[in-house]
Amino acid sequence: MRWLRLLASLIAAPLIYGVLCVPLLAWWIGLFPMHVNGLGGTSYVPLVLSIEFLQAIILLLCGVAVGLISGEGRWRTICLVGATADMLMIGISVQTQFWESMPAWHHWIFFALIATCLPLGGWISHRLKPGRAEAPEGA
């Protein structure tokens, strides 16, 4: 069962990201055609920052999903680390294809968002699970 959780974790994060982020970002960038360059990206700082914000939210959701799938204890950490590494490898391969379309700092922020938002989402999911409420003082 644990290996199935790891496999599901490795699949869930890129799947959720692909289903949510890819069409959402295409729609969002399409709202600002005057700021889109010939490669389909942008150097317009407010638009790039809004893209980073959307990616952060979706990466948090990916982390929550992985955290909920992965179970408890050490295995949860293994699944989160594996999913984060998986997303970083996918992110590097995709970002290298589009390196010229966006400012270089966007790519580095994107990698940092993967490395921070996925584990943070896993931590949030741990806090959302039933029975995780802290006991009151003096109980």
Q: How far apart are CA 113 and CA 115, in angstroms?
A: 5
Q: How far apart are CA 115 and CA 87, in angstroms?
A: 9
Calculate helix-pair angle for 104-128, 73-97, nearest 10 degrees: 160
pLDDT number for residue 10: 86
pLDDT number for residue 100: 87
Query: Is 133 a domain residue?
Result: no
Query: Is 40 a domain residue?
Result: yes
Query: Is 44 a domain residue?
Result: yes
DSSP letter at 12 equals: H
pLDDT number for residue 35: 94
Query: Is 75 a domain residue?
Result: yes
Residue-range definition of the domain harbouring residue 20: 2-126
Alpha-carbon Rg for the chain, nearest whole angstrom, is 17
Query: Is 19 a domain residue?
Result: yes
Query: Is 134 a domain residue?
Result: no
CB atoms within 10 A of CB 25: 15
Domains held by the chain: number: 1
Query: Is 21 a domain residue?
Result: yes
- pTM listed for this prediction: 0.85
Query: Is 137 a domain residue?
Result: no
Query: 56-111 pLDDT, tens per residue?
Result: 999 999 999 999 988 788 888 888 999 999 999 999 998 888 888 899 999 999 99
SS3 per-residue string spanning 21-74: HHHHHHHHHHCCHHHECCCCCECCHHHHHHHHHHHHHHHHHHHHHHHHHHCCHH
pLDDT number for residue 85: 94
Share of the chain above pLDDT 70, in %: 92
Per the model's pLDDT, the better-predicted residue between 27 and 7 turns out to be: 27
Q: Which of 20, 22, 21, 6 is nearest to 66 (CA)?
A: 6
Asked if 63 and 117 touch (Cβ cutoff 8 Å), the reply is yes
> Across all residues in the chain, what is the average pLDDT?
87
